[in-house]
Homo-oligomer: A and B are copies of this chain.
Amino acid sequence: MYEIFQKYLEEKTELTQAESERIQSFAIIKKLRKRQYLLQEGDVWKYDAFITKGCVRTYTVDEKGSEHVNSFSIENWWTGDRESLMMQQPSRFNIDAIEDTELVLFTHENFELLCKEIPAFNNMVNAILQRSFIAAQNRIQASLTLTAEEKYLNFISKYPGFASRIPQTMIASYLGMTPETLSRIRKQTAKK
């Protein structure tokens, strides 16, 4: 499974053989079965995590017990709770596997060490953060300006393939609407 991460690194950055090996030496492989937690509310998140296979969701649970999906992450993406990681504080989020999933983990100390030792790696990490921030901004913009139907259409055009692997209930939650509303929207748009 590590090869997938290796390939990702090769695409995103230029590393010497020695640097590659240094990175690999810190990698922890982890497998999750469907429904298994990667992070549970109240725990402190301590890793940088890359998904090589599968799909994971990040969500909160409110006082009424309803779940609110914050994000989905699939293979070739990163996951985790940056706030908990940076502030060293208990997470408000849960992360669990939607499918059987495989990850490459780095403890944050090791990850920071790699960032310090390997400038190219550091640059890659910053570029990812930039893109994550831009994506978050766009999501905020969408939530402010779009109707429920537009949000759904925007979602499937931006993330084709997600709709087929992720239960509708979770997509509805991610988009900030009820499953019933999403079901009706799908019926509507199917007609057209």
Whether A144 and B83, one on each chain, are in contact in the complex, defined by CB atoms closer than 8 angstroms, is no
Contact of A143 among B60, B92, B140 (CB under 8 A): B140
Q: Is the interface of A mostly helix, strand, loop or mixed?
A: helix
Whether A139 and B141, one on each chain, are in contact in the complex, defined by CB atoms closer than 8 angstroms, is no
Q: Given A60-B145, A68-B145, A129-B126, do A86 and B136 touch, yes or no (CB 8 Å)?
A: no
Interface size grouping (class) on chain A = 20 to 34
Whether B145 and A140, one on each chain, are in contact in the complex, defined by CB atoms closer than 8 angstroms, is no
Q: Does A133 contact B (CB under 8 A)?
A: yes
Q: Does A176 contact B (CB under 8 A)?
A: yes
Chain multiplicity (copies):
2
CB distance from A82 to the nearest CB of B (A): 6
Taken together as a complex, chains A and B put the C-alpha atoms of A83 and B132 apart, in Å, by 11
The residue of chain B having its C-beta at the shortest distance from the C-beta of A84 within the complex is B134
Q: Does A62 contact B (CB under 8 A)?
A: yes
List which A75-101 residues lie within 8 A (CB) of chain B.
Answer: 82-83, 86, 92
Whether A139 and B138, one on each chain, are in contact in the complex, defined by CB atoms closer than 8 angstroms, is no
Whether B70 and A141, one on each chain, are in contact in the complex, defined by CB atoms closer than 8 angstroms, is yes
CB distance from A140 to the nearest CB of B (A): 6
> Which residues of the other chain, B, contact A62 by a CB distance below 8 angstroms?
145
> Which residues of the other chain, B, contact A183 by a CB distance below 8 angstroms?
none
Extra 7 A-B pairs, beta carbons < 8 Å, given A60-B141, A68-B141, A126-B129: A82-B134, A83-B134, A83-B138, A129-B133, A136-B137, A140-B140, A143-B176
What are 27 of the A-B contact pairs (CB < 8 Å)? Answer: A60-B141, A60-B145, A62-B145, A68-B141, A68-B145, A69-B144, A70-B137, A70-B140, A70-B141, A82-B130, A82-B134, A83-B137, A86-B130, A86-B131, A86-B134, A126-B129, A129-B129, A129-B133, A132-B133, A136-B136, A136-B137, A139-B140, A140-B140, A143-B144, A143-B176, A144-B173, A144-B176
